[in-house]
Structure 1
């Protein structure tokens, strides 16, 4: 089968098509013939080599979520899964393939009217947005700033905050056109990437991180909470906490959030709710573009250039 491997970390050009053996599902696993593969920000972070110390090596196959049809099951798995359309989480890799394996606990049947592309756009992003807002202790009537709102996590966070009764939903984005699209999804204030003019937010959900973290901490209201749910721009400066210390009397809070800390059962319940809402047209899964699996490098170049609004989806 075709797969995409990272031969050299850094540029998207270090990714290449490989011909590998179709895996057999082990005990407790299923084999999914993929119809859609989500291209996430974490894939780009891994490909750049930012997380090299976490054990990623040349030959790594990126991708963490796919959607398709179960075509085989391993020992101990109910055979009724065979032939069903599912979303599947493959872990920290293994998704950019024509046939993917996943633990049966990490799959979810798709509603009838939800496309595979919509599933991989919303599957992980919606869960991160939901629990990221919960991690920030967001409550109805509070103001929220979503930094990096044009990606799939940010788009989900904007919609969820608006639906949950936020007093205001501010966003940072790169163009007026993107701002208009975000307003249609629930944003009430559009800022440039630097957040110029924005201030006094109860909650900031940051998917970008990087050198600007201190300046965004300065935009929190008293008792404000900032949660970093992504590091698309890399790590913040080592002394970023000094911003909070110099504003000691504002009682600010800073936290990171990873869905790895959330029980699979809890994730599954929220994902099922969001899939059902999307199937009813109540939650938008914004697909930027469909590209063939062989063009994964092009997808990453588009992400690196900041061209993507929503999520690029690969199709085998």
Structure 2
């Protein structure tokens, strides 16, 4: 089978299409013939070598989120899954391939009205957005700022905050065109990347969901209301400065808080249930899936180039040539 592996850490050109034997599912696993493969920010981090200290090595096949048809099951897995269209989470990789292994416990059957492409545009991003807002103790009537709202997680956070009764949903983004698209998804105020601008935008926010992090993260503490909560659910711009918390201490009397959030800390059954609810909501037209572009699996290098350039609004999805 064809797969895409990291042949050399660094630029997207370090990715290569390789031939691998078709995998076989072990106990508790299924084999999926992939129809759609999500390209995520974590894929670009692994490819760059930034996560090598966590055990990722060259030769790694990227991809944690797929949709397709179950081709075979391992021991202990209900054989009725064979032939079903599903969304699945493979874990730390293996998804950039024509055939992929996934734990049976992650499988979600796809509604007839939902394409495989839409499923991977929504799945894991929706769960991170849902639980990120919950981690921030977001409540109806509160104001929310989504920093870096043009990616999959940001787009879902905007929609879920609006759906959850936020009094305002502000977004930071790089262009007026992206701002207009985010307004159609529920944003009420469009700000620049520094969090400024926006006619009649709130002076402060009860919740900030930050997907960017990086050097500018500390400046956003000034945009929190008293008792405001900032939650970093990503770090597409890298880690913040080592002394970033000094901005909170400088405004000690505002009782602000900061937290990181990883979906890995959510029990798997809870993630599974929420992802199922979100897929069902999208199939009913209650949530929008946003796909930036669908590319052949063989063009994974181009997909990563677009990710690195910050060109993507929504999700890039790869499809094997036979799907």
TM range (shorter): over 0.9
The runs of 5 or more residues in structure 2 that have no matched partner are none
Shift of 1:196: 1.8
Runs of 4+ with deviation above 2 angstroms: none
Rounded Cα–Cα distance in structure 1 between residues aligned with 2:226 and 2:301: 44
* Equivalent residue in structure 1 for 2:306, among 298, 302, 305: 302
- Taking the TM superposition and a 5 Å limit, the aligned residue runs for 1:1-316 are 1-197=1-197, 199-316=203-320
Rounded Cα–Cα distance in structure 2 between residues aligned with 1:258 and 1:209: 14
Cα-to-partner distance string for 1:200-242 (whole Å, 9 max, x where unaligned) = 1100001111111101122111100000001111111000010
Rounded Cα–Cα distance in structure 2 between residues aligned with 1:142 and 1:200: 11
TM-score after normalising by structure 1: 0.99
Shift of 1:9: 1.1
Shift of 1:195: 1.0
Cα-to-partner distance string for 1:118-172 (whole Å, 9 max, x where unaligned) = 1101100000000000000000000000011000000000000000000000001
Shift of 1:96: 0.4
Worse-matched range after superposition: 8-17 or 128-137: 8-17
Q: Is the 8 A contact 1:145 1:201 kept in 2?
A: yes
Residue aligned with 1:125, SS: helix
Rounded Cα–Cα distance in structure 2 between residues aligned with 1:233 and 1:20: 33
Residue aligned with 2:249, SS: helix
Rounded Cα–Cα distance in structure 2 between residues aligned with 1:248 and 1:242: 10
Worse-matched range after superposition: 190-199 or 122-131: 190-199
Residue aligned with 1:243, SS: helix
Cα-to-partner distance string for 1:43-89 (whole Å, 9 max, x where unaligned) = 11111122121111000111100000000000111100000000010
Rounded Cα–Cα distance in structure 1 between residues aligned with 2:265 and 2:192: 32
Residue aligned with 1:159, SS: helix
Q: Is the 8 A contact 1:173 1:190 kept in 2?
A: yes
Residue aligned with 1:291, SS: strand
TM-score after normalising by structure 2: 0.97
Shift of 1:21: 0.7
